[in-house]
Structures are given as structure tokens and as C-alpha cells.
Structure 1
Amino acid sequence: MSRPILEVIALDAEDARAAQAGGADRLELVSAIEEDGLTPSRETVARVVAAVDIPVRVMLRPANGFRMAGQRELESLCAESRALREEGASEFVFGYLDEAGLPDIPVLAALNEAVAGCRWTYHRAIDRAADRDGLRKRLASLGDLPGLDTYLTAGSADGVGSGLDVLRSEARRSRTGEPGYGPRLMVGGGLQLRHVPELLAEGLDAFHIGGAARRGGWSGRVDPGEVGVWRGLLGG
């Protein structure tokens, strides 16, 4: 079995280089972390892709929240995703819900088409879904979303500490091959070092950190030493 994946949030090339130096396997590249992470600029994407040789997943999210404002915003985001691909982006992160808290299929299908051939993560919108099991099975039934390979989730909108039971259950359902549970489950959102041993024991093999990769939280830069602590705990 390969070592668990460690994904680190980066805001720029300096963060990216530090995360890779500490042992990160992958980056999630965002801007405006005070808005929980929005689409980064084309210039930032180009600089980060050039700065590291590990995969970079680029956030596609124009505003805080998990709903698309309308067709104009969707068309703009699709155009931006194509422009980001021209800057070297080859993996993405997005996830949208409709007014009822169900997966917004037209939005997801449009973005999936815009990044056709790229792998992508459905991010923590799943933690705010009206029916997370239904969301997974609905998306699994759509054969035209082949790029979806990861769900980033805390198991709860309130973070990993509140979502441990859900994460354990979903890990077990993934192991049995239940429909909708094929994509990798990546744990993130209030993840702490103390959570890792029991999550590893459940067979979870992908972990996502942001402020925990920085000395002093979000007020500091990504620190290779902090990333290294996580890498050591995860192995490898």
C-alpha cells in the first residue's frame, strides 16, 4: 500500500515550495483564505506550477459559499478555468449545491466539461448537503463526470471533531465498494494531529491541512517543519 497522501493549502509560490520541502504530496491552491478559499489569479497559478513538481489542485470558486449565483457567473468561471489550464493547471477543486442542498448537476456538468480530462475534488460542499449519501450516489450515477476522484470532507459542517463517526462509516462503505463511495475520501476541515491515528486505523489514506501547516495558524507562512510533523505521523 502506498503512503497516505498529504495535501497542503497554498496561497502562493512561497507556500508551495515550503509545503513540498516539508513532504506534501499535493497542493490545493486558493486565494482569499478569509473567504474560505477562492479561485487564484492566473499569474499565481503560473508561478506555483513552475515552482514545484508535485500536483497542484486549483480552486474554482468565485465567492464564499457553495451555490452558483447564476448563469453569467457560471459562464465566467468556466472561461476562467480554461484560462487557468493555459497557465498550467491540470487538476481542480470545486463543488456546488442547489437551493435544496442537493448537488447542482448543471453547474457541476458545465465545470466538468470545462476541465475535461482533468482530475478534480468535490470539496466541502458535501458537508452542507441535505443528503450526503444521496449526493454521492447521484454523482456516481452520472457517467459523464469521470474526473471526480476525491471528496474533501470533515464529515460535518462543524469540522472533523464532530464528523468522526461519519468519516468512519464512509471509510467502511468505501472498502465494501458501495456505489458512490469509489472516489477517495480526503479528510480536511479542522483536522488535528490527534485525529490521525484513529483515521489511519480506519483505512483512510488522504489528509488535507491548511492553518496546521503554518506556525501561528493563518497569520504565518507554510512552514516545512510543521508540514514535516504531519508527514512523519502519516509515514513516508
Structure 2
Amino acid sequence: MTAVLQVRALGAPDAAPAEAGGADRLELVGELTHDGPLSPEPRLVSAVRSRTSIHLRPVVRLREGFSTDGGELVRLRGLIAAYLDAGADGLTLGFLNGLGEVDAEVIGALLDGFTCPWTFSRAFDAILDADAAWRTARRLPGLDGVRTAGSARDLEHGLDALVRRAREEPAVASLMVADGDLHPDHVPWLARAGVRAFHVDDQVRPGGSRKAYVDEALVRSWRRLIDTEVRHARG
């Protein structure tokens, strides 16, 4: 597996510099809340698609929290159909049940009839029983990545746990998308443990400001770092 660099896009102007800097994939979001991003409008998916050819995954989430219900499920399925019609290649989503577990039933109903790859969102890190969560995640159809910091906080707090799990479970490592204030110093440890996908957001904006667009040079610096460390990890 080659290294994957995913960049969060907040709007169409982020698309071209992300691609030019070497990003493999864009995660497209709408409003950002204190516990994560919400869904973008379908027209934003179209606008981004018109500016880049790289893999595009909009977030599927209409409200704060990590649960949903029958009425909202209909709206979410409508959004998914609209995103795919607008040129999305995949999706980012993640829902938990009332017990704080992966809601496989809701996710299955949400994706029924749609054939596209998807990433489990950072909702995954809100699950207390990580062992059970990974067992469930590996059985979810179409899932090819899990955004995780190994902690409900960030990689600074979850790095050791993430690295340990990646080393012990290569099949899990292949699903990990390292996220949560990823720092350059984290990359060598993750790469040596077998992690091959990395997510960045404010790290590729000048000054770390969301008022600034994604910067091509900053994306390229992450591209070089990740490729170098993965290459070294492979020996």
C-alpha cells in the first residue's frame, strides 16, 4: 500500500492547491462544529469536483453528536445520492448507537444500494471499547479507512496506543487514517508501525488559520515527509 495523504477542504479554492501539492484525497466539509464537521451542500461538491480530479469524499453528518434517527436517515440518503451525482468518489461518515458502539445497523441502512468506498469519521474515537469497535469496523462493507488519533483527544495523547495497535494488528493498521492534530514528529512512529494513510487540515493552511486557503507548498512538505518516512519504514 502506498502512502495516502488526505487534506480537508473547506471550499472550492482549496482543491487546486491540494492537488498541486500532492494530496491523494480531499475530505470536503461544510460547517465545523466543536465536535466535528457537518455535511457540505451538494453544490459545493460540484464546485470542488470542477477544480480537481483527485479522490473526493464529502462528510455525511447533519447535526452535532454521533447518532441519527429514521427521519434524518432519509435526508442523509438523499445527500449521499446528491453527492455521488455531483462527482464524489466516496464518503466520510460515522454513527454510534445508544450504547456508544459502532451503529452497524444504521450505517448499513444508510449505505444500502450505494457502492462507494467510505471512511469512518473521528466518531470512532468516542467509542470506549476500542477492541470491539475495530472488530465491528473490519466487517463493514465498503469501509477502507478509519480516521483515528487513538484517543478522543488528539494524537499527542493517543499516539502510543495507536502505534501499539498498528504493530500488533496489521489488518487494523491498513485501515488507520492518522488524524487528530497530526504533527511531523508523529509520522515516523506511525509509518514504522505500518500506518499508511494520514489526514491533515489546519496544518496545510498558512498560520494554521481556517481563514486561509490550503497552501500548495505546505501540502508538498507533508507529501515529502510522509513518502520519505514510509519508504524508510519499508527498508
TM-score, normalization by structure 1: 0.90
**Within 1, Cα distance between the matches of 2:40 and 2:99?**
28
Asked if residue 111 in structure 1 is aligned to residue 110 in structure 2, the reply is yes
SS at match of 1:155: coil
Q: Does structure 2 conserve the Cα–Cα contact (< 8 Å) formed by 1:7 and 1:26?
A: yes
TM-superposed CA distance for 1:34, in Å, is 4.0
**Within 1, Cα distance between the matches of 2:197 and 2:104?**
26
TM-superposed CA distance for 1:153, in Å, is 0.3
**Within 2, Cα distance between the matches of 1:202 and 1:67?**
32
Aligned ranges 1:205-220 → 2 under 5 Å: 205-217=196-208, 218-220=210-212
Which residue of structure 1 lines up, in the alignment, with residue 20 of structure 2?
A: 21
Match of 1:125 among 120, 123, 126: 123
Asked if residue 229 in structure 1 is aligned to residue 232 in structure 2, the reply is no
**Within 2, Cα distance between the matches of 1:196 and 1:25?**
17
Aligned ranges 1:76-91 → 2 under 5 Å: 76-91=75-90
Which residue of structure 2 lines up, in the alignment, with residue 98 of structure 1?
A: 97
CA distance 1:195–1:139, shift in 2 (3 Å): closer
SS at match of 1:156: coil
Q: Which amino acid aligns with 1:210?
A: D
SS at match of 1:39: coil
Q: Does structure 1 conserve the Cα–Cα contact (< 8 Å) formed by 2:14 and 2:214?
A: yes
TM-superposed CA distance for 1:54, in Å, is 0.8
CA distance 1:188–1:155, shift in 2 (3 Å): same
Which residue of structure 2 lines up, in the alignment, with residue 169 of structure 1?
A: 164
SS at match of 1:81: helix
Matched-pair identity in %? 37
**Within 2, Cα distance between the matches of 1:221 and 1:50?**
17
Q: Does structure 2 conserve the Cα–Cα contact (< 8 Å) formed by 1:100 and 1:130?
A: no
Identify which range, 35-44 or 150-159, moves more after superposition: 35-44
SS at match of 1:219: coil
SS at match of 1:51: coil
- Over aligned residue pairs, what C-alpha RMSD do you find? 1.6
TM-superposed CA distance for 1:48, in Å, is 0.9
Q: Which amino acid aligns with 2:221?
A: V
CA distance 1:204–1:211, shift in 2 (3 Å): same
**Within 1, Cα distance between the matches of 2:134 and 2:194?**
19
**Within 2, Cα distance between the matches of 1:147 and 1:158?**
27
**Within 1, Cα distance between the matches of 2:25 and 2:145?**
13
TM-superposed CA distance for 1:112, in Å, is 2.0
CA distance 1:203–1:105, shift in 2 (3 Å): closer
**Within 1, Cα distance between the matches of 2:151 and 2:135?**
18
Q: Does structure 1 conserve the Cα–Cα contact (< 8 Å) formed by 2:94 and 2:107?
A: yes
Spell out, residue by residue over 1:119-144, the C-alpha distance to the aligned partner (whole angstroms, 9 max, x if none): 00011111000212101212434xxx
Alignment gaps of 5+ in structure 2: 229-235
Match of 1:149 among 136, 139, 144: 144
TM-superposed CA distance for 1:182, in Å, is 7.3
TM-superposed CA distance for 1:230, in Å, is 0.6
Alignment gaps of 5+ in structure 1: none
TM-superposed CA distance for 1:147, in Å, is 0.6
Q: Does structure 2 conserve the Cα–Cα contact (< 8 Å) formed by 1:151 and 1:183?
A: no
TM-superposed CA distance for 1:183, in Å, is 5.2
Q: Does structure 2 conserve the Cα–Cα contact (< 8 Å) formed by 1:9 and 1:30?
A: yes
- Flag as ranges the 4+ runs of structure 1 deviating above 4 A: none
Which residue of structure 1 lines up, in the alignment, with residue 66 of structure 2?
A: 66
Which residue of structure 2 lines up, in the alignment, with residue 160 of structure 1?
A: 155
Size of the alignment, in residue pairs?
226
Which residue of structure 1 lines up, in the alignment, with residue 43 of structure 2?
A: 43
Q: Which amino acid aligns with 1:124?
A: R
Q: Does structure 2 conserve the Cα–Cα contact (< 8 Å) formed by 1:148 and 1:183?
A: no
SS at match of 1:235: helix
Q: Which amino acid aligns with 2:61?
A: R
